[in-house]
Amino acid sequence: MLDSTPREIIARTGAVINPAKTCQPIGAMYAALGIHRCLPHSHGSQGCCAYHRSHLTRHFREPVMASTSSFTEGASVFGGSANLKTAIKNVFTLYNPDVIAVHTTCLSETIGDDIPSIIKSAAIPPGKMVIHANTPSYQGSHVTGFSNMTKGMVNYLAEASLENKREQVNILPGFLNPGDMREIKRLTALMGVPFIMFPDTSGSLDSPMSGQFNMFPKGGARVEAIRDSGNSSLTLALGEYAASDPAYQLERKCLVPAVVLRTPIGIQATDALIMALRQHFVAEVPDEIEEERGQLVDIMTDLHYHFHGKKVAIFGDPDIVASLTEMVLSLGMKPVHLLTGTPNTSLGGAQGNFEATVTAMLEDAGLAGRVKAGGDLFELHQWIKNEPVDLLIGNTYGKYIARAEDIPLVRVGFPILDRGVHSYLPVVGYRGALRLMEMIDNALQDRVDRDARDEDLELIM
């Protein structure tokens, strides 16, 4: 497996080999599916849309509906305005969504189609709306696309219509699974704080089997709610890369103060979320949450010897990798290779600083490790060849490295294409941390069992 990957690392300035990121539009499409009765629309050639739908479908095992402007050579030369207008007309006639969320592709960006003016001149039925985000894939990554579409929601929908802000919080969850979004909502509800989450794909990409297909399932943030987000007294952006930019946009547009937190994976990041809600809204932390947290700490201490000192490589989306790093550090593990495909900073993208954030975590723990943004899996594999690890955490593409180097893989992040259920169950919050611990523990202990000689096989571990 991956036999052509040499140990020796040469600096590359041309080829990306085995990427750890994909392009903006898929993130924008996913975000748009987090608005109730919204149809994402890909403005470009139809191939991108087909790829994005296929890929999201494989990860969620759910229908992913989206339309496209289906550019031909003519549209590529003369601009896609006519295509977009035809598409808008057809989409409203045939599928009747409340909102069409247009994102661009490399092609329409290169041509320079002016989406807002096309939308202005399109025939939009009364009560319906078309929003948009620019998502050129030659900037940032799929995470940037998610952030940009969320920002589009702020631009088009959020309004500060009240004199005084309401005691309610906006939660921008970032590029997470529906199961995670549910869990964050559950915790916020337990804290007794009224909230608006957008985008919100719970109930939209984890819809139940009913014997009927609904093009627009029950879930998704309501347009009225996103509008009302301009009246909230606080926005919590969960994740620098996937959520901070729209949160700051909302701050500029509607004067809602924005606080950027880490994706609440692991005990520290979850504590930070709970504390932010507690302090801002003067809300007591209920027993239920305190109990969940206590259970987590209980298991962390009980099992610390399964984890302590184990070397880990983690790759994936920057917000997720940062939180996972913090989490494995809290277990006494040694994260030595930390990589995201998303560039550290990019034009038109969410502004984060993955490398600084993660390096600081390692320094605090007195560790040294390789940290890279804008990297690829070819390089990660080479790092592992040079400094082996006990565990790999990342998406499905990690399985090739895991096999080549015979290391256990714990699947976390996007995309997971070869296992099911992951999108329904959380990795966020105290419960999510418990689940992650179980996944990591199983992977490590299964390996110990597999490698044990007969006489060393332990009944109790």
Partner 1 sequence: MLNHNTLDEILNKYPAKEKRNRKKHILIKNITQENQEIEANTRTIPGIISSRGCAFAGCKGVVLGPLKDVVNIVHGPIGCGYYAWLTRRNKGVSKAPMKNFLPYCVSTDMQESDIVFGGEKKLARTIDEVVQIFQPQAITISATCPVGLIGDDIQAVARSAREKYGINVTAYSCEGYKGVSQSAGHHIANNGLTEHVIGAGDMEEAPQKYTVNILGEYNIGGDGWVIKKMLEELGYHIQAVMTGDGSFEELSNAHVAELNLVQCHRSINYIASMLEVKYGTPWLKINFIGIRSTVEALRSLALYFGERELIERTEDYITRELARIEPQLLPYRRICAGKTAFCYVGGSRGHHYQGLYEELGIETILAGYVFAHRDDYEGRQVIPNIKSDSDSKNIPDLHVAPDENRFRLKLSPERAAELKDKIALSTYAGMIQDMKDGSVIVDDLNHFETEELIRILKPDIFSSGIKDKYVVQKMGIPSKQLHNYDYSGPYAGFEGALNFARDVAMSFASPTWNYIEPPWAHRPLLEGTLVKGDMENA
* Rounded distance between C-alpha atoms, residue 223 and residue 153, angstroms: 9
Q: CA-CA distances (angstroms) from residue 454 to 60, 448, 449, 457?
A: 40, 12, 9, 5
Query: Which region among 29-37, 43-51, 218-226, 433-441 touches ligand SF4 (by CB under 6 A)?
Result: 43-51
Residue 5, both tokens = 């990957």
Residues from 330 through 359 that contact partner 1 (CB under 8 A): 347
Residue 337, both tokens = 């290779």
Query: Which region among 72-80, 182-190, 225-233, 313-321 touches partner 1 (by CB under 8 A)?
Result: 72-80
Q: CA 438, 442, 445, 449: dihedral to nearest 10 degrees?
A: 150
Residue 137 contacts ligand SF4 per CB under 6 A: yes
What does 116-133 look like in DSSP terms, one character per residue?
HHHHHTS---TT-EEEEE
Residues from 47 through 106 that contact ligand SF4 (CB under 6 A): 47-48, 51, 105-106
* Rounded distance between C-alpha atoms, residue 257 and residue 235, angstroms: 6
Spatial CA neighbour of 300 closest among 395, 433, 189, 199: 433
Closest approach, Cβ 171 to partner 1, in A, equals 28
In the complex, which residue's CB is closest to ligand SF4?
Answer: 47
- For ligand SF4, the closer of residues 71 and 378 by Cβ is 71
Closest approach, Cβ 86 to partner 1, in A, equals 5
- For partner 1, the closer of residues 17 and 457 by Cβ is 17
Closest approach, Cβ 110 to ligand SF4, in A, equals 9
- For partner 1, the closer of residues 23 and 223 by Cβ is 23
* Omega prior to 25 cis, within 30 of 0: no
Q: CA-CA distances (angstroms) from residue 444 to 182, 306, 332, 421?
A: 28, 8, 14, 21
Residue 129 contacts partner 1 per CB under 8 A: no
Contact characters 287-326, partner 1, x per CB under 8 A: ----------------------------------------
Query: Which region among 136-144, 181-189, 276-284, 449-457 touches partner 1 (by CB under 8 A)?
Result: 136-144
- For partner 1, the closer of residues 80 and 239 by Cβ is 80
Residue 434, both tokens = 């418990």
Q: Which residues bind ligand SF4 (CB under 6 A)?
A: 23, 25, 45, 47-48, 51, 105-107, 137
